[in-house]
Amino acid sequence: MNINNSIHNRECRLLILYSYSILAPNAIPSGFVDGKVASEKILAALDIGDNYRIGHTKVFFKAGVLGQLEEMREEKLSKILSNFQARIRGYMMRGKYSKLQDQRFETSPLYIQCGQDFNLEL
Helix (H, G, I), strand (E, B) or coil at 52: strand
Section 1-25 average pLDDT: 66
Each residue's pLDDT tens digit, 42-96: 888 888 888 888 888 888 888 888 888 889 999 999 999 999 999 999 999 999 9
Single pTM value for the model: 0.64
Q: For residue 54, is it within any domain?
A: yes
Domain of residue 34, residue span: 3-117
Q: For residue 77, is it within any domain?
A: yes
The amino acid at 101: Q
Contact between 19 and 71 (Cβ < 8 Å): no
Q: For residue 17, is it within any domain?
A: yes
Identify how many contiguous H helices and E strands the chain contains and give both numbers.
5, 3
Q: For residue 15, is it within any domain?
A: yes
Helix (H, G, I), strand (E, B) or coil at 32: coil
Q: For residue 122, is it within any domain?
A: no
Long-range contacts of 69-72 (CB under 8 A, 24+ apart): 69/20, 69/23, 72/23, 72/46
- Number of Cβ within a 10 Å radius of residue 69: 23
Please tell me the predicted confidence (pLDDT) of residue 34: 78
CATH code for position 61:
3.30.70.1590
Decide which of 50 and 35 is more confident: 50
Domain count, the chain: 1
Q: Is the pLDDT of residue 35 over 90?
A: no
Each residue's pLDDT tens digit, 99-117: 888 877 776 666 666 655 5
